Structure 1
Amino acid sequence: MEQKNSPDLMPSWIPATGHALRHAGIHFDAVRIIGVLGEQVAYEVMQFTDFRAGPIVRSSIGERSMYFLLPPGSARAYRWPVGAEALVREGAAFVGVPAVHGLTYPLDWRSLPSAQVPFVDAELLFELLRKVVDDEIRAVR
């Protein structure tokens, strides 16, 4: 029996069960945004893309970070503001990636990759992050 291409096929770097560490910069770059800022930016990106944002991993422990997975080599093109950290190939940056189904605590998917949207758009993420940060600064004044 011949396998058919399916839009639901997940990238090979997503584990079948549980979760796995992946070295940033190999399959993807990542931008880690901590706390409430990460939640707000994820919401903005999902709203803007009609809930087709690409892969966003949520960590439920510690600072409760969001990891936005970008095309490899794209994160270093931007100067990310305070509260966001680019994780790229240089160094020992690893990102936990959960399986699509089953027990994956403390990680889960805020948004899954798809064949049509395999990564979060780096430029869009940068612009929406800047907007959220600017809005927060204006609210404090």
Structure 2
Amino acid sequence: MNTRSDLDWLPESGVQVRKAGVRFDAVRLDGDRGREVADRLARMTGGDPGPVLETASGRRCVYFLVPPGSTAHLAWPPEVTRLTSGPDRECFIPIPALDDMTWPFAWRYRPTAPDRFVHTLLLRTALHSAE
């Protein structure tokens, strides 16, 4: 099992926010569509799609953590929200601890390695095959 020293961007407890563009960016989808895409992506990758987290309240968002800068210059469906940072924009991503009470945030697919993130092009494929 991973420890905090393996994944230094994870909080030790609770939920903390991380600035997009430093270690990763995120692609957010709301509701059941986000969960369907996450599960489709997991099937495409043999059960290891990279880190995907979800919320259990509100819009029930699903966040796919992707390499920083990897969502730029790509066409995305209108229901996708890209969480990136740049000269005129700062975004922050909620990150729950691996093993702590973090409701309403939880890992749908836990991170497995320090620099292992969701593959952006595979995510786009999963999005388009879900339409």
Matches within 5 A, 1:9-28: 9=3, 10-28=6-24
Secondary structure of the corresponding residue to residue 17 of structure 2: strand
Secondary structure of the corresponding residue to residue 73 of structure 1: coil
Q: Does 1:62 align with 2:55?
A: no
| 61, 78, 82: which one aligns with 1:82 | 78
Secondary structure of the corresponding residue to residue 101 of structure 2: coil
Runs of 4+ in structure 1 deviating by more than 6 angstroms, as ranges, are none
- C-alpha distance in 2, partners of 1:8/1:77? 33
Unaligned runs of 5+ in 2: none
Q: Does 1:110 align with 2:104?
A: no
- C-alpha distance in 2, partners of 1:77/1:15? 31
- Name the CA shift for 1:23/1:42 in 2 (closer, same or farther; >3 Å): same
Cα deviation for residue 117 of structure 1 reads 6.7
| 15, 35, 42: which one aligns with 1:39 | 35
Identity %: 35
**As a proportion of its length, which structure holds more helix?**
1
Unaligned runs of 5+ in 1: 1-6, 134-141
Q: Which amino acid aligns with 1:127?
A: T
Matched residue, 1:8: 2
Q: Which moved more, 1:119-128 or 1:69-78?
A: 69-78
- C-alpha distance in 2, partners of 1:125/1:44? 9
| 99, 120, 123: which one aligns with 1:122 | 120
Q: What whole-Å deviation, never above 9, does each CA across 1:107-139 have from its counterpart, x for those lacking one?
A: 000111212871000000011101112xxxxxx
Query: For the Cα contact (< 8 Å) 2:96–2:105, is it kept in 1?
Result: yes
Q: Which amino acid aligns with 2:59?
A: E
Say which one has the larger Rg.
Answer: 1
- C-alpha distance in 2, partners of 1:87/1:108? 18
Cα deviation for residue 30 of structure 1 reads 0.3
Q: Which amino acid aligns with 2:54?
A: R
